[in-house]
Amino acid sequence: MLMTERHRLGQEVDALADRLGRDRTSLIPILLEVKRKYHTLDAFALQVIADHLGIHPVEVNSVASFYAFLGSGRQGRFVIRLCRTISCDMQGKRRVSRQLENDLGITFGQTTADGKFTLEWANCMGMCDQGPALLVNDQVYTRVTPEKVHEILEACRRVFGVHAKESKEVVIR
């Protein structure tokens, strides 16, 4: 049976609601799962989630727009967040940010044309004694240098090998 992406989204949200619950306490976990899989939370997705949880779409949109990690814009497969606090700034954040921008060819707040990488600023990751700190999806990197940026980006790029599946996780030691 041919299934549209919207129909698939509806089935997946239904399965998530079965697993996580069909009330307000499940809203953020479901939003995170949908964002992780589809890299965006568009109006249709918010409506589907609202329908499955029995709450108004405005409430779903309010939560999704409040949290930076849930922003409605399309994000790349790898969302790279660099801490912009003063402690990371004092430990070389500018060099790291320039290296990221040069290597990816985008500035912070943008996604690469191929949809693989998004650069964002983060306010604090709680790693002030180990800065500059960087977050790639859910993985934290500390004491990041411009040289380490190359390693991190190459590990991410290996996921996109000729026959690689996008579900492969990146681990850099």
Buried b (16+ CB within 10 A) or exposed e, 3-27: eeeeeebbebbeebbeebeeeeebb
Give binding residues as ranges. Answer: 83, 88, 124, 128
Contact 119, 110 (CB under 8 A): yes
CB 60 within 8 A of CB 49: yes
User: Can you name the residues that pair with 126 across neighbouring β-strands?
Assistant: none
What is the rounded distance in angstroms from the CA atom of residue 53 to the CA atom of residue 106? 37
19: left (phi over 0), alpha (psi -120 to 50) or beta: alpha
Binding residues for [2Fe-2S] cluster: 83, 88, 124, 128
